[in-house]
Structure 1
Amino acid sequence: MNAQYAGNAAAYFHLPEARILRSTSLQNEDITITRLTATKNTVNLTDPIPPANAFVLSLQLQPLPRHELWLDGKREPVTPYGCGAISVVDLAARPTAFLPTAFDCIQFYLPQATLDQLAAAEDRAPIRELAVPHGAHDPFVESIGKLLLPALSEARAPRLFVDGIIVALHHHLAARYTGARVREPQGPGRLAVWQVERVKAMIDAHLDESLSMPQLAAACELSPSYFCRAFRLTTGIAPYQWLLRRRMEKAQEMLAKTDTSIAEIAFRCGFSDQSHFTRTFSRMTGVPPGAWRRPR
């Protein structure tokens, strides 16, 4: 495995260390999401990436008018990429690229072992090859990229948010680019009352911890992708949005009824630090926590 690339992809492009989001809910190597940005003549030739049993999916956030790609030392035919274009390289092919122009992209590092585990959870065949034409336009992946941009700017996001993105991306890639027929789950499409109550209880009991999507899905005896869809259909919001709402409700209760410090409230409610809590609270209520607390 090539965890070095997953943890610091920017180094291979001669770029400063980039912010990284991780999906760490599985027992295998992390799936990582990194934004790489360079101005003209910053990169030119990348360092060779050591072979790894993993794919890298790239989404272009601006046009890439010129680049060259080598796989196993052989030049790969590529064309200019437009904004929203995607491409996939298998790191087993030891890719190297020539990038003389400015670029801005999001990279998804997808290790094979973790993809296998996701496939097993969904009871489907594992992804062995991704037949993605270089420069293909994929509105679904593009929409995922737009959702990720705010989180990538801070490199902070609830685990349930990142897990939900990865579960949806895995389902999409398997259905569109593997040639295998992906069975849609059968059932009423909504969670049963006992499932909703179990999930809510788990979230309330772990507001200060990082629950994973597979944990919640397993508690409901469902696959992760089915659980995500059913939870949204049942409650009207995604699991990570429910978690954030409950964290905010607990924080407001502590602000109103206790003299606990704002830093301690941030810690108890699962925020990474006081500044992160203050930004989130201000965005959701319109005022910072200290100002919200005073009249109460």
Structure 2
Amino acid sequence: MRYRHDFEGVTEKIRSIGPVRWHQFDTVLPAYWEAAGATGGRGSYVSANPRISVFFDDVSSIRVLEGTASRPLPRAIFVPAGMALQTMFTRPLVFSHLDVHMDAGWAVDVLSGAMSRAAALRLLAQPAERHDTGPLEVIARLLVDELDAASCPDLYAQSLAGSLVAAILDIGAEGQEARRARLTAAQMRKVCQRFDAGGGRGLPVAHLAAAVNLSESWFSQVFKNTTGMTPHQWQRARRIEHARALLSDTSLGVADVADRLGFSDQAHLTRTFRQVVGETPAAWRRRRG
């Protein structure tokens, strides 16, 4: 498993009033608590992993302690790895909440479709909170239901956890980076070289991303910003360029060209060629001849 639980909590005058419902998935550990705190109750918590807590009740009577100051506990809070959280009850309270402990690398992967890994790391190093939970609570309750039913594949629960991450973090400023980011000329040369080394055959996007040491999702975003095309569209256009060169400069038949460039068959090349060029390979070759 990627996630390794490393959490420490010390409480005083706070008690669980029902069994803790939890499940450890590959990348996250959600746990649902029902608890009661007395006036003056205190809690001190720290984890080696980032975590989210969503409270299903008004918890404004619980104060977050920050040195000599305090403030009401938000209904939803993201706590970065290694950040201590201390709370105190100002009156008796019965409440329930969902904690989602997560693997830090997984959280970076969740965010890297909208920003660079460096930006994701910056975002995950900062606490975040929401007083109006809105859709957060809906997602959290779906995850609680899954703790009991376990009716779906693990990917479902992990996807819900990923949605909580995206909903609670303020990705607006960092997300602007995704809309502005471009590949450098040197990076584009490396991508072209990697593609050309394959002889005009289509490559998995992950292989192109690896040429410039970027995650597949972030590469796809900045590649489209740079070229105006998705990696798949760009490769299709480049492959048809190779096909036109072979049809023009060699005597290879259309079926042979298709085989050399990795198309499944002649019909596949013909269909793709027509989509890009507007006519079949045979018609294009005749017109040029």
Q: What TM-score bracket applies, with the shorter chain setting the length?
A: 0.3 to 0.5
Q: Report the structure number with the largest CA radius of gyration.
A: 2
